[in-house]
């Protein structure tokens, strides 16, 4: 009985850790989903999350309010998203180049401004108390806890997380719903594949894409805010550490769909959580799994997927192609 | 907005990037002002720190070396219509190759081991560029995403190797032991001293002339060789390439390999020249600035060298600047790089239109 | 209301014409695409519009559908004057258009495509209900059976076309315009389409059918208007005309350009094509069982309306795409799959002036001397070794610029800066100067000024006099008539007829071009 509850507890701990680690991925992944399904390639997820992380931490520190921090993070991310949108949609510029620029800009600006304001090598001062989101205990958590399997899953993994976690999970459901069941979602799916059809139907391609890009900014804002305000209690230089690109990988893996995106990001988060546990550990059979092998998995899997070895990864047809009216 | 604007060649190559650069600096100036510093003062220190002394120039050229190699790598790929974001990873692999040769063969005389190490660096870098190129050509995987992934894979690989396989047991940090003196690429100041000239010590080493040579080689290749003709044709018009009997797939793979080997020059500079052992993160963002350099330089080797020199100045001047004004860190260079990539790259159309408005009507087709 | 319809019986109240175009003028720069066009389409009829490419049909329909506004003239729908400033207005006026290139999203279902832009609310559920009901209604009224949940990308081309028609009907179209609808259909799909059109007409819809296929006009329409060079030449009752009459109206009787040509006895066969077939990635058959041969010292012209397989024929013969069936023999030797590539064919003396010089024949951003070496950059005349002799390339072109009167005489100038005619001369010079045994030429004078046209034609005839076998593909029938010793006509991917130049005329060729087989005529 003891080992069972030990295993159960360990599983719960790892799963809880996996969920928390995957939240920035999910947020960024959804952001990429909205943008790419409307036809705008976005490799600047990393940069948008980073600037959001910084802005939210700075605002939360200044106002001692996590919610204001969230607002600031979203605003910053949306600003960058609009910059990318302007270059990609209105100026019909190269969307990859624009994304690279966004990433560099964010990295540079957060470092310069962070250093200028706080002088701690680019970090913000640590956030405490109301400047961070409190852990929310979901209703009925203590009651269900004793129920086998579902209990710990609900009480220890799902419940007891800060607000941005739930915002992100709700965003997954919302994304799936809006995409499939609303007029906006239909038009968006159309414009990402064949904007000509949308244009001849009398709907503005540019407006649709701008809306998608703004949504993308909001989502990156939530993800970035979670990173600094919730997870790390402050901004650290380059704290996104490639999560924006892993999110891109997850997006490709999920074939640009919301629920599979959740699954892919949870998987990557799980890999992350496991790799932390496995550091230096020796498995039965004396095989020492190098932590790097697990770290490399998300990237390797993406490459293998892109190479078409595990099914085809076909992005929205009009992705990355600026729309020019053909007359 | 749908008709492309045709500017005269000198405006295309020179004026538009110049305008974009000035605009980028203006934006940077705004950022500097927003953190309470004076842009003019910052510019003065920047120029003085980078060009005002022999030591400063030495450092500037040393940084420029990295940017030349990275810029050339991206530029060559551009000519084939490919966007190589993987210079960082390719340089990392290049460093690995150089280190492997240096560590095992540094008992051989310098004129044997150094060329071998350089060749190994180029070969490893070429491999890391070739694979994404192959995947693009044969499997249709977008080279941008694959090179980004390969950047991360390279970084993870090198951590693993340095921690578990190649690491120096005597050191706490993940790095190899120092290479033997035969495997050091000589410093310029050391060579100068040997010839009786007095030069301050800087990291500037033989890889700088190597970089210039590479720039010349790239120019010869792209603009004067048959292979370069094929590369440019594939980049300009794949249909014309097919018509001419050139295989776009072959060219894609070849160009990515070439691009990777150029990026490895970065490693030659840092690993064989300056650090003289293999360590983590020696590429430290040079690869991405290389993108800005290539865009600014319009993918032409001369432009790349000039843009690389500018960024070298920024890096060195930026270091000096952060001494006197700790608020302005070297990350300003990253900001400028980002803005430049935006202006000279994604917003290129905007600037071309702006320039076309200002030029007399007859010059604009 | 002024009576415009010539058939007016005072005692019967005629419903106003569904569509009236009065005095429509439209120019694009110097090109007058539509010239004082007057068209009356009676309600509840199927009205055909025939004409060659460039006759102005597409422009006219674009004006009707609101993509452009006419420079002058009036549009009346059901007798009411309407200003159609954009497609929304056209749709509201009851005009629906089915394009040649479908405006469908392959990745979405039929229902989604039908709803797109007319969803009837922010949430899709209600709109989907209405759309399904409407689709069921169409199935009942017109026999238009389409599975609403099928993915458009999985449908056949014929079914996709039906979705386009449904889209128009769903938006309340009373007038349906179909632009070259059978261009991508199989014969049985085309028959099904016309059955559908008849059913629509029976329910009171008006249909405008744009096509160049005379069989269809004769079979399906009540009236037909012939367009040529931007004007409507005539509007006739279909029952009272014939394919011959329509064909000669369509292509015109006069041959404006005549190049001087001495008759010449052709020599031995240098190119032999047997049973050539090609199916593209979408599964559409582009070439069907083509067999013909080319002999030394003759010009064979391939006539036909654009899009009937001529482009594919050239690409296959030039080694750019691989045929699905059939054989090609060059100079007596059958070409293996390996040998069918541009480089090898060039080596054996088969050269190619492509139809699309800007996309294929030249590289616009390159300086002219580099474009002038396209396909031959590996030759020894440009030096040995990895580097090419730039001076040799430049000198080469400069010499040719002299011979071919290319202006400006600047070999270093960017290719894009030359006029169409001069660009074409550069391409021609490049291919001709290499003494081909067989020369494939696509649209030799497209976008070329009159002076250059004359020059190019004379050069081609001179080449033929030297014994070269030349295959010319052109949509300009006059050009074919002027240059060819023999004419092959293609329609729908097949050869509909082969004639010696002396034994044919534009009427005859026009019929063949319009799909009337030599036997059926």
Closest-CA residue of chain C to B232? C366
**C481-517 core/surface letters (b: 16 or more CB in 10 A; e: else):** bbbbbbbbbbbbbbbbbebebeebebbbbbbbbbbbe
Number of neighbours of residue A86 by Cβ within 10 angstroms: 17
Per-residue DSSP letter, C6: S
Per-residue DSSP letter, C27: E
User: How many domains, chain C?
Assistant: 3
pLDDT score recorded for residue A282: 58
Same domain, yes or no, for C442 and C430?
no
* Helix-, strand-, coil-residue percentages of chain B, each rounded to 5: 75, 0, 25
* Mean pLDDT to the nearest integer, B302-311: 93
Nearest Cα to C360, choosing from C299, C286, C441?
C441
Write the residue in C361, C363, C378 that is nearest to B236 by C-beta.
C363
Q: How far apart are CA C470 and CA C296, in angstroms?
A: 8
> A120 to chain B, minimum CA–CA distance in Å?
10
pLDDT score recorded for residue A298: 81
Decide if C5 is inside a domain. no
Query: What phi and psi, each to the nearest 5 degrees, are found at residue B317?
Result: -60, -35
pLDDT score recorded for residue C298: 93
**Do residues C443 and C21 lie in contact, with contact meaning Cβ atoms separated by under 8 Å?**
no
Return the number of CB contacts < 8 Å for A and B. 154
Q: Which of B241-245, C70-74, C77-81, C139-143 has the lowest mean pLDDT?
A: C139-143
Last residue of a domain, one of C220, C251, C282: C251
**Do residues C458 and C259 lie in contact, with contact meaning Cβ atoms separated by under 8 Å?**
yes
* Mean pLDDT to the nearest integer, B335-359: 86
State the DSSP H helix or E strand holding residue B91, giving kind and residue range, or none if neither.
Answer: helix B87-105
pLDDT score recorded for residue A311: 64
Residue A21 contacts B, CB cutoff 8 Å: no
pLDDT score recorded for residue A15: 87
Q: How far apart are CA C130 and CA B211, in angstroms?
A: 68
Chain C 311-340, CB below 8 Å of chain B: which residues?
A: 318-320
pLDDT score recorded for residue B1: 35
Question: Per DSSP, which regions of C94-230 are E strands?
Answer: 95-98, 175-179, 206-211, 223-228
Write the residue in C105, C122, C123 that is nearest to A193 by C-beta.
C105
Q: How many CA atoms lie within 13 A of C498 on its CB side?
A: 9
Residue C519 has pLDDT above 80, yes or no: no
Closest-CA residue of chain A to C67? A327
Range of the domain at C396: 363-435
Last residue of a domain, one of C251, C276, C307: C251
**Do residues C40 and C175 lie in contact, with contact meaning Cβ atoms separated by under 8 Å?**
no
Same domain, yes or no, for C41 and C176?
yes
CATH number of A8-306: 1.10.3470
Q: Which of A114-128, C60-74, C468-482 has the lowest mean pLDDT?
A: A114-128
pLDDT score recorded for residue B96: 95
* Mean pLDDT to the nearest integer, B251-255: 97
pLDDT score recorded for residue A281: 61
Chain A 194-213, CB below 8 Å of chain B: which residues?
A: none
Same domain, yes or no, for C320 and C416?
no
3-state secondary structure of C254: coil
> A27 to chain B, minimum CA–CA distance in Å?
19
pLDDT score recorded for residue C10: 52
Q: How far apart are CA A115 and CA A237, in angstroms?
A: 10
* Mean pLDDT to the nearest integer, C102-126: 91
Q: How far apart are CA A248 and CA A250, in angstroms?
A: 5
Nearest Cα to C407, choosing from C449, C443, C375?
C449
> B18 to chain A, minimum CA–CA distance in Å?
18
Share of chain A above pLDDT 70, in %: 93
* Mean pLDDT to the nearest integer, A285-290: 63
**Do residues C513 and C477 lie in contact, with contact meaning Cβ atoms separated by under 8 Å?**
yes
In this complex, do A193 and C116 lie within 8 Å of one another by their Cβ atoms? Answer: no
Residue B170 contacts C, CB cutoff 8 Å: no
3-state secondary structure of C48: strand
**Do residues B92 and B289 lie in contact, with contact meaning Cβ atoms separated by under 8 Å?**
no
Same domain, yes or no, for C285 and C240?
no
pLDDT score recorded for residue C257: 53
pLDDT score recorded for residue C3: 47
pLDDT score recorded for residue B340: 87
pLDDT score recorded for residue C1: 46
**Do residues A68 and A59 lie in contact, with contact meaning Cβ atoms separated by under 8 Å?**
yes
Contacts of C372 in chain B (CB under 8 A): none
Decide if C302 is inside a domain. yes
Roughly how many angstroms between the first and final C-alpha of chain B, as a whole number?
Answer: 15
Same domain, yes or no, for C273 and C222?
no
pLDDT score recorded for residue A287: 60
> C334 to chain A, minimum CA–CA distance in Å?
37
Size (chain A), residues: 327
**Do residues A63 and A130 lie in contact, with contact meaning Cβ atoms separated by under 8 Å?**
no
CATH number at residue C345: 3.40.50.300
| Structural domain spans, chain B | 38-326
Distances in whole angstroms, Cα of residue B89 to Cα of each of A85, B84, B154, B157, B286: 29, 11, 5, 10, 11
CA angle A316-A317-A321, nearest 5°?
105
Residue B360 has pLDDT above 90, yes or no: no
Strand partners, A161: A136
| Structural domain spans, chain A | 8-306
Banded pLDDT at B333 (limits 50, 70, 90): confident
**Do residues B198 and B280 lie in contact, with contact meaning Cβ atoms separated by under 8 Å?**
no
The edge-to-edge listing of strands for the beta sheet with C72-77 is C31-41, C19-28, C72-77, C80-82
Rounded to an integer, what is the distance from CA C467 to the centroid of its chain?
A: 31
Rounded to an integer, what is the distance from CA C35 to the centroid of its chain?
A: 21
> C94 to chain A, minimum CA–CA distance in Å?
14
State the DSSP H helix or E strand holding residue B289, giving kind and residue range, or none if neither.
Answer: helix B286-296
Residue B225 contacts C, CB cutoff 8 Å: yes
Return the number of CB contacts < 8 Å for A and C. 65
Q: How far apart are CA B87 and CA B155, in angstroms?
A: 12
Chain B 6-65, CB below 8 Å of chain C: which residues?
A: 6, 9
DSSP class per residue in A138-180: PTTHHHHTTSTTHHHIIIIIISSEEHHHHHHHHHHHHHHHHHH
Q: What is the pLDDT of residues C408-455, one digit of tens each?
A: 888 998 898 888 888 999 999 999 888 899 999 999 988 787 777 888
Q: Which of B66-70, C316-320, C380-384 has the lowest mean pLDDT?
A: C380-384
Residue A310 has pLDDT above 70, yes or no: no
Write the residue in B6, B229, B245 that is nearest to C342 by C-beta.
B245
| Summary mean pLDDT of chain C | 87
Closest-CA residue of chain B to C365? B236
* Mean pLDDT to the nearest integer, A85-105: 91
Q: What is the pLDDT of residues A190-238, one digit of tens each?
A: 999 999 899 888 889 999 999 999 999 999 999 999 999 988 888 998 8
Same domain, yes or no, for C207 and C320?
no
Could you tell me which residue, B43 or B146, shows the higher pLDDT?
B146
CA angle C70-C75-C77, nearest 5°?
145
* Mean pLDDT to the nearest integer, C355-369: 92
Banded pLDDT at A302 (limits 50, 70, 90): confident
Banded pLDDT at C254 (limits 50, 70, 90): very low
ipTM, two decimals, is 0.85
**Which residue in C26, C63, C66, C105 has the most chain A C-beta atoms within 10 A of its own C-beta, making it the best mutation to test that interface?**
C105
Contacts of A190 in chain C (CB under 8 A): 105, 108, 112, 116
**Do residues A208 and A35 lie in contact, with contact meaning Cβ atoms separated by under 8 Å?**
no
Tracing tokens 């604007």 back to the chain, one arrives at B5
**Domain B38-326: CATH class, spelled out:** mainly alpha
Contacts of B326 in chain A (CB under 8 A): 115, 119
Residue B224 contacts C, CB cutoff 8 Å: yes
Residue C363 contacts B, CB cutoff 8 Å: yes
Touching partners of A (3+ C-beta pairs < 8 Å):
B, C
Same domain, yes or no, for C54 and C167?
yes
| Summary mean pLDDT of chain A | 87
Contacts of C375 in chain B (CB under 8 A): 243-245
Contacts of C62 in chain A (CB under 8 A): 327
State the DSSP H helix or E strand holding residue A293, giving kind and residue range, or none if neither.
Answer: helix A291-306
Structure tokens that stand for B110 in this block: 């310098």
**Do residues C418 and C426 lie in contact, with contact meaning Cβ atoms separated by under 8 Å?**
yes
Q: How far apart are CA A246 and CA A302, in angstroms?
A: 9
> C119 to chain A, minimum CA–CA distance in Å?
6
**Which residue in B240, B249, B364 has the most chain C C-beta atoms within 10 A of its own C-beta, making it the best mutation to test that interface?**
B240
Could you tell me which residue, A136 or B208, shows the higher pLDDT?
B208
Residue C127 contacts A, CB cutoff 8 Å: yes
Decide if C356 is inside a domain. no
Same domain, yes or no, for C460 and C512?
yes
Residue C70 has pLDDT above 80, yes or no: yes
Banded pLDDT at C183 (limits 50, 70, 90): confident
Banded pLDDT at C267 (limits 50, 70, 90): confident
pLDDT score recorded for residue C255: 44
Q: What is the pLDDT of residues A125-154, one digit of tens each?
A: 888 888 788 888 787 777 777 777 777 777
pLDDT score recorded for residue B57: 92
Most confident of A107-121, A173-187, B171-185: A173-187
* Mean pLDDT to the nearest integer, C69-84: 90
CA angle C136-C138-C139, nearest 5°?
65
Tracing tokens 């989604």 back to the chain, one arrives at C112
Contacts of C392 in chain B (CB under 8 A): none
* Mean pLDDT to the nearest integer, A317-321: 82
Banded pLDDT at C518 (limits 50, 70, 90): low
CA angle A214-A218-A224, nearest 5°?
135
Last residue of a domain, one of C183, C218, C251: C251
Q: How far apart are CA C323 and CA C328, in angstroms?
A: 10
Alpha-carbon dihedral C349, C352, C353, C355, rounded to 10 degrees: 170
pLDDT score recorded for residue B215: 97
Residue C160 contacts A, CB cutoff 8 Å: no
Q: What is the pLDDT of residues C459-503, one digit of tens each?
A: 999 999 999 999 999 988 888 988 999 999 998 889 999 999 888
* Mean pLDDT to the nearest integer, C186-197: 85
């Amino acid at each position: 009985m003891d080992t069972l509850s030990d295993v159960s507890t360990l599983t719960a701990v790892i799963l809880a850790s996996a969920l928390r680690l995957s939240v920035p991925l999910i947020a960024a992944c959804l952001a990429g989903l909205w943008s790419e399904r409307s036809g705008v390639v976005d490799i600047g997820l990393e940069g948008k999350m980073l600037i959001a992380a910084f802005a939210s931490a700075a605002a939360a520190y200044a106002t001692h309010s996590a919610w204001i921090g969230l607002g600031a993070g979203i605003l910053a991310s949306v600003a960058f998203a609009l910059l990318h949108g302007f270059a990609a949609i209105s100026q019909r510029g190269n969307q990859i180049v624009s994304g690279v620029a966004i990433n560099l800009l964010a990295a540079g600006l957060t470092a310069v401004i962070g250093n200028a304001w706080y002088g701690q090598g680019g970090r913000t001062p640590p956030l405490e108390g109301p400047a961070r989101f409190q852990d929310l205990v979901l209703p009925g958590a203590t009651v269900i806890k004793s129920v086998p399997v579902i209990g710990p899953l609900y009480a220890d993994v799902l419940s007891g997380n800060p607000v941005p976690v739930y915002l992100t999970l709700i965003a997954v459901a919302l994304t799936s719903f809006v995409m499939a069941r609303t007029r906006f979602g239909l038009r968006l799916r159309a414009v990402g594949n064949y904007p000509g059809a949308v244009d001849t139907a009398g709907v503005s391609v540019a407006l649709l894409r701008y809306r998608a890009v703004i949504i993308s900014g909001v989502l990156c804002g939530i993800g970035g805010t979670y990173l600094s305000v919730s997870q790390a209690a402050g901004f650290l230089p380059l704290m996104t550490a490639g999560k924006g690109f892993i999110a891109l990988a997850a997006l490709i893996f999920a074939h640009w769909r919301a629920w599979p995106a959740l699954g892919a990001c949870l998987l990557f988060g799980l890999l992350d959580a496991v790799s932390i546990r496995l550091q230096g550990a020796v498995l039965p059979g004396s095989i020492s799994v190098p932590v790097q092998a697990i770290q490399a998995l998300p990237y390797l899997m993406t490459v293998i997927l892109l190479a078409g070895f595990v099914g085809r990864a076909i992005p929205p047809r009009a992705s990355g192609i600026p729309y020019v009216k053909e007359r | 907005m749908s008709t492309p604007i045709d500017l005269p060649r000198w405006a295309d190559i020179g004026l538009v990037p110049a305008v974009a650069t000035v605009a980028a600096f203006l934006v940077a100036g705004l950022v500097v002002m927003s953190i309470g510093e004076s842009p003019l003062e910052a510019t003065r220190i920047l120029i003085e720190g980078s060009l005002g002394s022999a030591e400063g120039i030495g450092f500037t050229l040393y940084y420029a070396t990295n940017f030349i190699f990275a810029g050339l790598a991206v530029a060559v790929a551009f000519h084939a219509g490919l966007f190589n974001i993987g210079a960082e990873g390719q340089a990392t692999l290049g460093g690995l190759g150089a280190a492997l040769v240096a560590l095992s063969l540094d008992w051989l005389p310098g004129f044997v081991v150094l060329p071998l190490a350089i060749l190994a660096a180029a070969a490893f870098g070429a491999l890391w560029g070739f694979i994404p190129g192959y995947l693009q050509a044969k499997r249709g995987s977008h080279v941008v995403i694959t090179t980004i992934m390969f950047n991360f894979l390279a970084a993870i690989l090198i951590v693993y190797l340095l921690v578990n396989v190649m690491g120096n047991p005597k050191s706490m940090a993940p790095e190899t032991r120092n290479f033997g003196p035969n495997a050091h690429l000589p410093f310029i100041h050391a060579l100068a001293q040997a010839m009786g000239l007095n030069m301050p010590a800087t990291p500037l080493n033989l890889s700088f002339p190597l970089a210039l040579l590479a720039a010349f080689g790239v120019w010869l290749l792209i603009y004067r060789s048959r292979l370069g003709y094929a590369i440019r044709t594939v980049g300009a018009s794949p249909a014309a390439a097919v018509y001419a009997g050139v295989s776009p797939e072959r060219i894609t793979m070849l160009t990515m390999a070439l691009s990777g080997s150029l990026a490895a020059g970065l490693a030659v500079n840092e690993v064989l020249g300056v650090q003289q052992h293999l360590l983590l993160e020696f590429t430290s963002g040079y690869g991405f600035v290389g993108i800005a350099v290539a865009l600014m330089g319009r993918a032409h080797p001369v432009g790349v060298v000039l843009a690389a020199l500018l960024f070298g100045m920024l890096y060195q001047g930026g270091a000096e600047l952060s001494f006197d004004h700790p608020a302005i860190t070297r990350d300003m260079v990253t900001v400028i790089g980002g803005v430049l990539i935006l202006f000279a790259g994604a917003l290129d159309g905007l600037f071309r239109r702006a320039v076309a408005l200002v030029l007399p009507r007859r010059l604009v087709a | 209301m002024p009576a415009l319809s010539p058939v007016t019986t005072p005692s019967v109240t005629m419903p106003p014409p569904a569509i009236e175009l009065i005095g429509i003028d439209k120019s694009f720069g110097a090109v007058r695409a539509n010239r004082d066009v007057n068209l009356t389409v009676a309600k509840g009829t199927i009205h055909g519009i025939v004409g060659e490419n460039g006759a102005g049909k597409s422009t006219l329909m674009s004006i009707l559908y609101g993509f452009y506004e006419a420079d002058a003239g009036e549009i009346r729908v059901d007798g009411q004057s309407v200003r159609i400033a954009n497609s929304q207005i056209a749709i509201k006026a009851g005009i629906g258009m089915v394009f040649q290139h479908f405006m469908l999203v392959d990745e979405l279902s039929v229902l989604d495509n039908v709803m797109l832009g007319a969803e009837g609310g922010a949430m899709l559920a209600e709109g989907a209900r209405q759309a399904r009901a409407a689709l069921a209604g169409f199935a009942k009224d017109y026999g238009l059976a389409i599975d609403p949940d099928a993915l458009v990308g999985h449908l056949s081309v014929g079914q996709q076309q039906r979705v386009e028609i449904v889209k128009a009907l769903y938006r309340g179209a009373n007038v349906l315009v179909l632009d070259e609808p059978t261009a991508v259909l199989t014969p049985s799909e085309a028959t099904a389409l016309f059955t559908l059109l008849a059913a629509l007409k029976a329910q009171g819809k008006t249909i405008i059918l744009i096509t160049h296929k005379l069989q269809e006009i004769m079979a399906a329409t009540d009236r037909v208007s012939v367009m040529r060079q931007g004007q409507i030449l005539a509007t006739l009752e279909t029952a009272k005309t014939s394919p011959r009459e329509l064909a000669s109206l369509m292509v015109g009787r006069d041959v404006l350009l005549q190049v001087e040509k001495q008759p010449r006895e052709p020599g031995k066969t240098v190119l032999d094509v047997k049973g050539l077939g090609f199916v593209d990635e979408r599964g559409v058959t582009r070439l069907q069982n083509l067999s013909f041969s080319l002999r030394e010292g003759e010009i064979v012209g391939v006539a036909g309306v654009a899009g009937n397989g001529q482009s594919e024929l050239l690409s296959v013969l030039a080694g750019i795409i691989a045929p699905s069936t059939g054989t090609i023999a060059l100079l007596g030797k059958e070409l293996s799959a390996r040998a069918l590539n541009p480089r090898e064919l060039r080596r054996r003396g088969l050269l190619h002036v492509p139809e699309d010089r800007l996309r294929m024949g030249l590289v616009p951003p390159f300086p002219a001397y580099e474009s002038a070496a396209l396909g031959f950059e590996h030759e020894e005349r440009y030096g040995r070794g990895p580097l090419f002799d730039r001076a040799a390339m430049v000198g080469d072109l400069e010499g040719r610029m002299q011979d071919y009167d290319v202006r400006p005489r600047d070999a270093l100038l960017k290719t894009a800066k030359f006029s169409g005619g001069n660009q074409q001369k550069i391409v021609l010079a490049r291919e001709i100067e290499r003494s081909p045994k067989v020369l494939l030429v696509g649209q030799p004078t497209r976008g070329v000024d009159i002076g250059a046209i004359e020059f190019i034609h004379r050069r081609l005839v001179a080449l033929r006099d030297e014994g070269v076998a030349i295959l010319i593909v052109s949509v300009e029938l006059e050009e074919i008539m002027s240059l060819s010793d023999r004419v092959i006509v293609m329609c729908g991917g097949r050869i509909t007829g082969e004639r010696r130049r002396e034994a044919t005329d534009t009427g005859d060729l026009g019929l063949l071009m319009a799909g009337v087989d030599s036997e059926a005529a």
